[in-house]
Amino acid sequence: MSETSEDEQTQLQTSDEEEDLGSEEEQEDEDNNHKEGDSEAALSGEDDKGSEDDAAEEQKLTWKDLGLNEALCQACDELKWKAPSKIQREAIPVALQGKDVIGLAETGSGKTGAFALPILHALLENPQRYFALVLTPTRELAFQIGEQFEALGSGIGIKCCVVVGGMDMVAQGLQLAKKPHIIIATPGRLVDHLENMKGFNLKAIKYLVMDEADRILNMDFEVELDKILKVLPRERRTFLFSATMTKKVKKLQRASLKDPVKVEVSNKYQTVEQLQQSYLFIPVKYKDVYLVHILNELAGNSFMIFCSTCNNTVKTALMLRALGLAAIPLHGQMSQNKRLAALNKFKAKNRSILISTDVASRGLDIPHVDVVVNFDIPTHSKDYIHRVGRTARAGRSGKAITLVSQYDIELYQRIEHLLGKQLTLYKCEEDEVMALQERVAEAQRTAKLELKDLEDTRGGHKRGGDTHDDSENFTGARKRMKPMGGTGGGGRKSFGKKNWSKGKQKR
Amino acid sequence: MKQKHSKNRAKPYKKPTPARRNERFSKNYSFIQRSKQMEESHRRERMPTAPKQEYEPVAELLPEIQDDVDETEFYKKLITGVNNIPTSDILRSKAEKEEDHVIPVPRKIKPKKEKRSEQLGVDLEIYNSFSKRFDFELSTDNINDLIARKDVKTIKRNWSALGNVRFDIPRLTEDFKEPDCSEPKDIASTEDLQKLEVKASICANAKLPLTALQSQLFYIANNYQDIYYPHRTHGNAEDIRYVYCLHALNHMLKVRSLILRNNEKVSALAKSQKMSPNEISIPESFRDQGLKRMKVVFVVPFRESALRIVNILGDLLFGSQDDQARKTSIANYERFLGDYSGNTIYFPKTNPKPMDYEQTFSGNTDDNFKLGIRFTKKTMSLFSDMNASDMLIASPLGLRMLVTDKESDFDFLNSIELLIIDQAELFLAQNWENLLHSLDHLHLQPQKLPDTNCQRVRTWCLSGASSFYRQTLFFSSHELPEFRAVFNSKCNNYQGKVRDSNLVEHGDIRNVLTPIHQVFRLINCSSVETTFDDRFQYFVKNIMPQFSKPGFSHCMLYVPSYFDYVRIRNHFKTEMVSFVQINEYTKKEKISRARDIFFHSGASVLLYSERAHFFRRTRIKGIRNLIMYQPPNFPHFYSEIINLMLKTNQNPRDGFGDEMSVSILYTKYDLLSLSNIVGSENAAKLTSGQKDSYLFSTKT
């Protein structure tokens, strides 16, 4: 009892020192931990039974058993989807009954199929344009979902349209005007089209999907989401998927779902067993040297290296390239096409080192990564879960290494607390590491020069040229596009006036 | 005249790159390459002069041209291209024609059994040719075949008014039917127009009967096929104008009636759902519009042409009217008369200009204009904003300025369905590049979201295939490679093209009155890209040495292209040639001075540009030696210039005898220009023969 009391006092003191946001987050953690404890105590027996039943079901259950249309079962077979995943087994039958679904699931658990297959099933029964709308927080995720719909629906004539920022607005408008069956969109760009494209409306939508809803809300798309929900018909099915349950997500659920069936397959803040997690406690100035050492020691594997800023991403990539390692940066300030190109390079195994900000920690369909390195420790503990979730997926093993500097101790301890366990120390010989010091320093100087050239090319502004409304660094302070009518009117007036005066001058 | 000078002297436009150019259709770079070659040649060191070769012309009389002509690959292509008939087949061809006349032509249009509603404005019948054209959805394979110009069926016919007609129709479907290319009968009555599905309101106002030429042109236009007719004359110009205005207005009214009818249905549908039309789901069958409103573009050279078009459109819409009545039925017509009527060029009565000059330049000849026309249910409005216009009448310069105005977009050209180019040879004298640049800006993706309800836009517009649904009517007075290039490479109508392919029987050479030998000199060149350099080198090596001979004088060098003109002028200055020059930018006083110097032997050579002749038709006196650097682009200039060499125009005090010469330099790529001068048959011989010179003579 006395020990418990001491722990509580420590927590309270920590809470007082943090900012409001942190405090709120901490409270959420406490609530979740509390619930988790209860559930563990109450349902431990059932868990055992559940695992046995799951094993049995997993061997028998097929797509057809879930009630899917024959054409869709065939499409799944052609895509070599062997059997439904856990989230799919849970969600698809409920969705086929016509109920709203709220799913708590991680990326990689198959939730895209969990909502795509029921939607396509319903579409085959009642073909209709503008049938389903899928909202996602990032454009990369939107493209990924679009590819899945195309793959599943290519044999049955499905037309999809991906509407995201950073692409040509008029070209997207022309695609939307063709009335595709499925629209996959980021909220900001979709609102632009709803406000500016004459005749475009979503009143016929039958299915709404909000994928990664916690991300949508965290990226301050609340205004856009509210606008979209207002113009959607009330008689619709709604699927909401989220990796975490936050207050905002709960609020959204209450506002937009009717008697949803909750499907929960995520292990709360747990990492899979095949994941080997370790840390390195090192001085901050030797981070680069240790990173190079790790890459050399584990050469032959594919890597994802997470940095905290776009600048760090580029600098680290340039340094690694100077050392002869093939490294690809991926961050929020890159243009949409460059991001996709980087992803395609990494997917094609042309490169085996992807350096990114948290924009790539979740959502993106990146193939299996052998090693995840947290070069900069994440500021949000939950982001650690998403980062290391890039490896050890689908039953495969993986490694996660976190570089902890003298300034990161507190953040690191928070992560360990969230995981409920201590990570092992990554062993390496300091002499071997320091032997690389001179070469790494030289590479750092080269990278610094190249980075300076890049910034000069960009016009002296790091963030000036490539602001997109749904990128990772979006702060929510976005200029809304003016209505087309006003702009058009102004344009017309000046246009007419100019012509008239020109005509006079010429004569 | 001064105004025109200043306009011509204006700086050339810098061409901004279109935002999203359709890369599948490459731009015609001939003018750009030519100017680049000029620059390169100046930088290049002067080539050492080859030893002089004496030229010995082979004397042959026109009737005795030899037949031994070796065919080359290029020759075969061009023969096929111009649909040439060899000499030996002339009689056979005539025999075939006679046979055709004997065979009775079956009726092509069956009379409709159903009675047609005679109420004006309440014409709800479906227009087959219109809906067949615009409701057809091109597939991706169709578009790929059209771009590659695959699988095109060629059909040749002989019609009474059009002569030899060549149909090129793409084969888009497996069950491709043989199209009916029989000669249609003349349109003589209102019923004939009604059978062709012409709007009732137009049938009531049309001037009938149409001539055979009008009937045949309208029949093809009504089928929405492209037309290439290079036989426009001052005699048939108004007939042609009437036909394309009739077709344009008919198309426009069909479009509008369809949209208005669907608007009513959509409003009723929205009302039943208690929402606004922008908030409902509109069925696919109501897709009836393009992304932009503008449907028809006329490209004509002068404001006078626009004036005549507007008057014809008004008469077809409201019946024949005088200007006073038009002011009430056409909005802004009074302002239009102020801007577009009147005369800008003075025609002298003593020493009059040729008659065709007065016909070409009568009326308001301002070449910078653009006029938007908007149609509503009861009226026709002029000077409407581009984005609110149904029709546009513009000059190439006016159109060019529309698409290069950086403060506005050219989205309004996205959904053009009918493009009419008339008097194309005058664009060549103005600025051909303006036309090419403007044509490259049709059907580009809009830069802003369109104002049209997106559920009403045709799906082929959304797919960017609207260029295949654009009909083009092309009229010129003669044939030139530039015209053929536009028709072949910038017209992609999925329903095919119809080209008038009559041969030139005699050419302008028969109008030469001066008794003189005319020598045509062939320049060998390996490719079309090197023609400019090859011609220049030939000129420097073979022609210019004659300038140094004692007693050489009174030589006019006629240069059709201004780029060549500048190159030669710079070369003359470098070589210290004694010459005077007249070009389209030369002032009036300097022209007089140059003529005087030339006539009185003050300079040996007069450097003369074709456009100077086109815009002024100056009478140059004292020409004893004429060198045409290239065959003229305007065939009647050939005889006109040579006839200036008559004895009455010579200076008797020069002391020269009767020795005069005419030389025309040409390459095998000048086949079409040569056809206009010496006839198609002779031109084929000149370009394919083994000899490097041919002589035509009018000496007795």
Which one of A396-410, A486-500, B623-637 scores highest in mean pLDDT? B623-637
- B445 vs A contacts (CB less than 8 Å): 170-171, 174
- Can you give the pLDDT at residue A331? 79
Q: Which residue has the higher pLDDT, B41 or B502?
A: B502
Cα Rg of chain A (Å, integer): 25
Summarised one tens digit per residue, pLDDT across range B133-150 is 998 888 888 888 888 877
Give B451's strand partners.
none
* Predicted local confidence at residue B612, as pLDDT: 95
CB–CB of A142/A164 below 8 Å? yes
- A482/B contact by beta carbon, under 8 A: no
pLDDT band at A176, cuts 50/70/90?
very high
Is the pLDDT at A258 greater than 60? The verdict is: yes
Query: Rounded to whole angstroms, how far apart are CA atoms B679 and A292?
Result: 81
**pLDDT classification of B407: cutoffs 50, 70, 90:** low
Asked if the model's pLDDT at residue B235 lies above 70, the reply is yes
Q: What percent of chain A has pLDDT over 90?
A: 10
Q: What is the mean pLDDT of residues B258-271?
A: 89
Q: Residue B158, Cβ neighbours under 10 Å: how many?
A: 15
Query: In this predicted model, what pLDDT tens digit does every residue of B186-222 receive, in sequence order?
Result: 898 887 888 888 988 888 889 778 999 999 999 899 9
* A202 near B CB under 8 A: no
* A177:B462 CB<8 A: yes
Q: How far apart are CA B262 and CA B239, in angstroms?
A: 35
Question: Looking at B376-484, which runs of residues are DSSP E strands?
Answer: 380-382, 391-394, 418-421, 471-475
Q: Based on DSSP, count helices (H) and strands (E) in chain B, helices before strands.
A: 26, 18
Q: Which positions in chain B touch A130 (Cβ < 8 Å)?
A: 281
In this prediction, residue B16 carries a pLDDT of 43
d(CA B636, CA B511): 8
Residue A260 has pLDDT above 70, yes or no: yes
Distance of alpha carbon B603 from alpha carbon B620, whole angstroms: 14
* Numbered ranges of CATH 3.40.50.300 in chain B: 146-272+303-343+359-447+463-500, 509-697
Instruction: Please provide the DSSP assignment of B24-63 as one string.
Output: TS----HHHHHHHHHHHHHHSPPPPPPPP----PPP--GG
Q: How far is A491 from chain B (nearest CA, A)?
A: 7
The residue in chain B having the minimum alpha-carbon distance to the alpha carbon of residue A170 is B449
A322 is in an annotated binding site: no
Contacts of B275 in chain A (CB under 8 A): 203
Q: Prior bond to B209 cis, omega within 30? A: yes
Q: Chain B partners of A173 at a C-beta cutoff of 8 Å?
A: 449-450, 454
Q: Average pLDDT, stretch B26-50?
A: 44
Contact B445 A175 (CB under 8 A): no
Of the listed ranges A349-353, A406-410, B150-154, the least confidently predicted one is A349-353
Lowest-confidence segment of A343-347, A391-395, B51-55, B622-626 by average pLDDT: B51-55
Q: According to the per-residue pLDDT averaged within each range, which of A96-105, A246-255, A488-497 is highest?
A: A96-105
Whether B445 sits inside 8 A of A174 (CB atoms) is yes
| B396 vs B424: CA distance, rounded Å | 10
B388 burial class (0-12, 13-18, 19+ CB within 10 angstroms)?
middle
Q: What are the structural domains, with CATH classification, of chain A?
A: 63-264 (3.40.50.300), 275-457 (3.40.50.300)
Q: Select, from the ranges A230-239, A250-259, B213-222, B616-625, the one with the highest average predicted confidence (pLDDT).
A: B213-222
Higher-pLDDT residue of B302, B44: B302
Residue A395 in tokens: 């039953």
Do residues A357 and A482 touch, judged by C-beta distance below 8 A? Answer: no
For A282-323, write each residue's pLDDT tens digit.
888 788 888 998 888 787 888 889 888 888 888 889 888 788
Q: What is the pLDDT of residue A13?
A: 35
Name the β-bridge partners of B664: B520, B628
State pLDDT tens for residues B572-587: 989 888 899 999 889 8
Give the pLDDT of residue A106. 62
A204: annotated binding-site residue?
no
Is residue A91 annotated as involved in ligand binding?
no
**Chain B: closest CA distance from residue A190 (Å):** 14
pLDDT at B454 over 50: yes
The C-alpha angle A244, A249, A250, rounded to 5 degrees, equals: 110
Quote the pLDDT of residue A497: 36
Q: Identify the band that residue A89 occupies on the pLDDT scale cut at 50, 70 and 90.
A: confident
Using an 8 Å Cβ cutoff, are A373 and A354 in contact?
no
Task: Tell me, yes or no, if A499 comes closer than 8 A to chain B by beta carbon.
Answer: yes
Task: Say whether residue A492 is in contact with chain B using an 8 A CB cutoff.
Answer: yes
Count of other CB atoms within 10 angstroms of residue A212: 24
- Spatial strand order in the sheet of A261-264: A160-163, A182-185, A132-135, A207-210, A237-242, A101-104, A261-264
Task: Give the CATH fold of the B146-272+303-343+359-447+463-500 domain.
Answer: Rossmann fold (3.40.50)
Reported as a single tens digit per residue, the pLDDT across A476-494 is 444 444 344 433 333 333 3
Flag whether residue B450 sits within 8 Å of chain A, measured between CB atoms: yes
Q: Is A110 annotated as a binding residue?
A: yes
Task: Note whether A494 contacts B401, CB cutoff 8 Å.
Answer: no
Q: Decide if pLDDT at B672 tops 60.
A: yes
What are the backbone angles phi and psi of residue B475, rounded to the nearest 5°?
A: -125, 135
Taking the alpha carbons of A16, A10, A375, A302 in that order, is the dihedral positive or negative?
negative
Determine the topology of domain B509-697 in CATH: Rossmann fold (3.40.50)
Give the pLDDT confidence score for residue B248 in this predicted structure.
97
pLDDT interval class at B668 (50, 70, 90)? confident
- pLDDT on residue A24: 31
Query: Are B449 and A507 an interchain contact pair (Cβ–Cβ within 8 Å)?
Result: no
Least confident segment among A108-112, A119-123, A445-449, B179-183: A108-112
Contact assignment for B449 to A496 by CB distance below 8 Å:
no
